[in-house]
Amino acid sequence: MISLPSYLIISFCLFIAGLTVMIARKNIIAMLLGIELILNAAALNFAAYTRFINQNLDGHLMSLFIIVIAAAEAAVGLAIVIRFFQIKESIHIDDATELQS
């Protein structure tokens, strides 16, 4: 039962859930949650492929870098959200209409 297609199906479900969150939510922080789900799906894919197909550890390293970059991006994204809230007093995505200030 543990085989490559089962891991691919799991990462597909994660991806769909993350995509749904990103499309359907209006709260910026909720969209960041969706981004985390999508990145995790990709990292799981990489790890599954190195176990079943290609046993050098490049896939693990790729997953490691995905984790690192996702954490950095979450930090910067949340800093931007906080700054946005300080200016606009709202975290609704439709209020982010101006390109400057």
Partner 1 sequence: MFLNIMFLLAAGATIGGSFLTATSKNLMHACIYLLLTLFGVSGLYATLGADFLAATQLVVYAGGVVILMLFAIMLTGGVREFVNKFGIDKVASMGTVKTYSIAGFMVVIMSFVIMKILAPIFKSYAPGELPGFSTTVEKIGTLLITDHVLAFEISSILLLGALVGAAVISRPGRTR
Q: Is 31 in the site for partner 1 (CB under 8 A)?
A: no
Nearest residue to 42 via CA among 64, 25, 20, 21: 64
CB-based burial, 5-26: b 16+ in 10 Å, e otherwise: eebbeebeebbeebeebbeeee
Q: Is 99 in the site for partner 1 (CB under 8 A)?
A: no
Q: Interface with partner 1 by CB under 8 A: which residues?
A: 1-7, 10, 13-14, 17-18, 20-21, 23-27, 29-30, 32-33, 36-37, 40, 43-44, 47-48, 50-53, 55, 57-58, 60-61, 63-65, 67-76, 78-83, 85-86, 89, 91-92, 101
